[in-house]
Amino acid sequence: MDLNLTREEAAFRDEVRAFLDEKLTPELKEAGSLTTSVFTDKPWNLKWQKILHEKGWAAPAWPVEYGGTGWNEMQKYIWASECARAGTPGLSPMGLRMCAPVLMKYGTPEQKAFFLPRILAGEDYWCQGYSEPGSGSDLASLQLRAVSDGDDYVLNGSKIWTTHAHFANRMFCLVRTNTDGKPQQGITFILLEMDTPGIKVEPIITLAGEHEVNQVFFDDVRVPKANRVGPENEGWTVAKYLLEFERGGAYAAALAVGIEKIKTIASAERSDNGARLIDDPAYRAKVSDAEIAVKAMEITEHRVMSALSGGKNPGPASSMLKTRGSEMTQTIDELVVEAIAYYADVDQRPAREPGSNVEAVGPKYGLTAMPRYLNNRAATIYGGSNEIQRGIMAKLVLGL
């Protein structure tokens, strides 16, 4: 694939840049800069989504008939790169990138007509109810029971690690509707409202001191059967389709921005002796290795993108992107923390050392380096751990 932009692509990039220059206010940029994991806090990511929605750019990956942009794969890539470069807030992927593709493929006409416009406009905020205590990697062992009762299911059990459940008004959820046969055969995919009586959300505070994940308890929670997506007991197929979208996504653009930030920070002179970390051969070698790996990631993403044109789903290639992308994310975090420590900013306060460049790479960036490092330790766990991804690649890609 030719990575040099054509005249049309360069014009599109300029249009995107002009839009971002105009719409990305300093406060939105600061919200983007303070993001320490996948998600920017809800008020900011919704504010940004509404601005994108007005322009018709909230869901570049969606088909045009549902409100997508009609961009080709290169335009989507340019968009992702320019957003990473500008430091936009990260939109929540739960509705736009995870639940929506599932509804497009498996939803009833009524479900599509009701939910998709709301997802696009940011009127609903979704969370994902897959994992349970004891059912993470072995997701098919999930136990949250849904018993049929007239037009409803009655739910009892618990979900865990539910990101942003405390903000969400809706959850897409896997429940057990049958205990006979293979575990995969008795699972059903349903949509529910978080204010339904019997639902309790308890916070889990992470090592970074943040409230992002939760445990959710269900005590005789009634969910209408009309909210089921796909047939009863066949939710495993739906669940796996969604995971391909959870695991896919573009990493390289953000990783490349990370490399530039590292270089900026590490190029500052220390106030006490004028030395620069970037002149340390051992550190410079690590940055070079990371930069080469990010370039390789970019080429891989382009290859996968080419294979996806025409609206195909990513398939097992998403496991490869997730594995490499999450590992590289952690490598970059480590290099940032090392650089910031060198300039004595590791206590997470904004840079005070006159020699440090940490503020040059983003407002309050020094505040977020350590929480980001800690939060991203989970990047190789969530969305299916990297060991599980390697198992999928061995089976489906290598045919082992």
Residues that bind ligand FAD (CB under 6 A): 127-131, 136-137, 161-163, 213, 378, 381-382, 384-385, 387-388, 391
Closest CB 137 distance from ligand FAD, rounded Å:
3
Q: Please, which residue, 244 or 338, has the CB nearer to ligand FAD?
A: 244
Q: For residue 249, what are the CA distances in angstroms to 128, 253, 284, 321?
A: 17, 11, 29, 8
Nearer to ligand FAD, 39 or 343 (CB): 39
DSSP 43: H
Minimum CB–partner distance for residue 378 and ligand FAD (Å)? 4
Per the structure block, which two tokens stand in for 350?
A: 């904004």
Cβ 108 to ligand FAD, closest distance in Å? Answer: 24
- What is the closest distance, in whole angstroms, from the C-beta atom of residue 139 to ligand FAD in the complex? 7
For ligand FAD, the closer of residues 316 and 350 by Cβ is: 316
Q: At what angle do helices 281-308 and 252-266 cross, to 10 degrees?
A: 160
Closer residue to ligand FAD, CB minimum distance, 358 or 388? 388
Nearer to ligand FAD, 187 or 268 (CB): 187
Sign of the four-CA dihedral 93, 98, 101, 104 = negative
Closest approach of ligand FAD to the CB of residue 213, in Å = 5
DSSP character at residue 312: -
User: Which run of H or of E encompasses 188?
Assistant: strand 187-193
**Burial level of 112, CB count in 10 A (0-12/13-18/19+)?**
middle
Nearer to ligand FAD, 137 or 148 (CB): 137
The one-letter amino acid at 342: Y
Residue number with CB closer to ligand FAD (210 or 280): 210
Q: What is the DSSP letter of 309?
A: T
Three-state DSSP at 202 gives strand
Give me the DSSP letters along 66-102: GT-----HHHHHHHHHHHHHHTPPPPPHIIIIIIHHH
Residue 243 or 358: which CB sits closer to ligand FAD? 243
Q: What's the closest the beta carbon of residue 348 comes to ligand FAD, in angstroms?
A: 20
* Residues 327, 203, 329: CA angle, nearest 5 degrees: 10
CB of 216 to ligand FAD, least distance (A): 9
> Integer distance in angstroms from the first to the last C-alpha of the chain?
29
Q: How far is the CB of 265 from ligand FAD (least distance, A)?
A: 26
**For residues 136 and 153, what is the distance between their CA atoms, to the nearest angstrom?**
23
Distance from C-alpha of 279 to C-alpha of 270, rounded to nearest angstrom = 12
